[in-house]
Amino acid sequence: MQSILSKIIVVLFLVSCIGCSYIADSIEAELTNRAHFSIDAYYDSGSVIISWDANPDYDSFAGYEIYMTGDVNDEFSEMIVVGAYYNIGSSSYFQQDGTLDNPSTSHFIHSNLPSLGIYFYRVGVIEWDERDYNNDGEDEKKPDFPDESVYKSYTHIEKISGSAMVEIF
């Protein structure tokens, strides 16, 4: 209990001294295990440009997924996938992007935008479940030949970013 109280006091002090999103997200990640890295997002000429620095685990990395919600009062409500390597989105705002399966990717341009308004974006780091993909009796960190159905069945969100608010005008 003493440790938690001291962490809260340190967090409050740091947040009051430093308004940087990265610091706030890092602290929040330690306390809530939710935000693991920060993102930047802004609207420019009909697109939202999102950038991040997530440092994924290359051995089990499956891809990045980009999420969006329009509820300004609850950033977690109705979060939808708007970007991924595989065609997993069901909304008209979804874009399939062949670079999102590369762990070195650090940005995404969202051009299938909704109507004018304020939206929150997040980036998820997706990892493969450790399992026996090649039926040799031993678990592997990822399949040798992944496809969309294997991706949908055997992945999980390993890390998720803090949110970035964007006004589309």
Q: Read off the pLDDT of residues 97-123 as tens digits, 9 standing for 90 and up.
A: 999 999 999 999 999 999 999 999 999
Number of C-beta neighbours around residue 57 at 10 A: 13
Q: How far apart are CA 122 and CA 165, in angstroms?
A: 9
Q: How far apart are CA 78 and CA 38, in angstroms?
A: 21
Amino acid at 162: G
- Please check the confidence at residue 152 and state whether its pLDDT lies above 60: yes
The enclosing H or E element of 30 equals: helix 21-32
Q: How far apart are CA 62 and CA 44, in angstroms?
A: 29
Averaged confidence pLDDT in the chain: 85
pLDDT of residue 9: 58
What's this model's pTM, rounded to 2 decimal places?
0.78
Topology at the third CATH level for domain 38-168: Immunoglobulin-like (2.60.40)
Instruction: Identify the residue with better confidence: 81 or 3.
Output: 81
pLDDT of residue 46: 95
pLDDT of residue 19: 46
7-20: average pLDDT: 53
- Please check the confidence at residue 93 and state whether its pLDDT lies above 60: yes
- Please check the confidence at residue 77 and state whether its pLDDT lies above 80: no
Contact of 38 with 22, CB cutoff 8 Å: yes
What band does 78 get if pLDDT is binned at 50, 70 and 90?
A: confident
What band does 36 get if pLDDT is binned at 50, 70 and 90?
A: confident
Q: How far apart are CA 162 and CA 28, in angstroms?
A: 9
Pairing mode of beta strands 117-128, 80-84:
unpaired
Instruction: Identify the residue with better confidence: 57 or 72.
Output: 57
Contact of 169 with 119, CB cutoff 8 Å: no
> Domain ranges in the chain?
1-33, 38-168
